[in-house]
Amino acid sequence: MKRWSFDDDALLELVIKGKKKATASVYEEKEVPQIGEENIITRNGIDACKIRITGYKVFKFKEAKEEDVVKEGEGNLEVWRKIHIDFFNKYHKDFNEDTLILFEEFELVEIYE
């Protein structure tokens, strides 16, 4: 089972409140999830909640659709694009509109806190 954390505790709070049901990252072929796979999201190294992957898509950043990105709980497509351009540029020097994105959908299974 994978353990990981968000860069921002506010994102974890959206998961716990049931408002965030998806997450996006730069696609790396070796990291494609399995449907049904469970992950633990941590806060400060402590288990906060468990999620189960319910689906995923791979698409170019410029092809993101409103109906998908609103599942991240951060706003509409315009807001999502701004937040993610800033975030991806911070960690990926070669990020651009054609960069492939792994968009994972999940359900909250358990809260530990």
DSSP secondary structure string for all residues of the chain:
-EEE--SSHHHHHHHHTT---EEEEE--GGGPPPTT-EEEEEETTEEEEEEEEEEEEEEEGGG--HHHHGGGSS-SHHHHHHHHHHHHHHH-TT--TT-EEEEEEEEEEEE--
Instruction: Say if residue 113's pLDDT is above 80.
Output: no
Per-residue pLDDT band at 10 (split at 50, 70, 90): very high
What total number of domains does the chain contain? 1
Per-residue pLDDT band at 43 (split at 50, 70, 90): very high
Whole domain around residue 59: which residue ranges?
2-111
Residue 72 sits in a domain whose CATH number is 3.10.400.10
pLDDT of residue 53: 98
pLDDT of residue 29: 82
pLDDT of residue 51: 98
Provide the whole-model pTM.
0.92
Q: List pLDDT tens digits, range 72-111.
A: 999 999 999 999 999 999 999 999 999 999 999 999 999 9
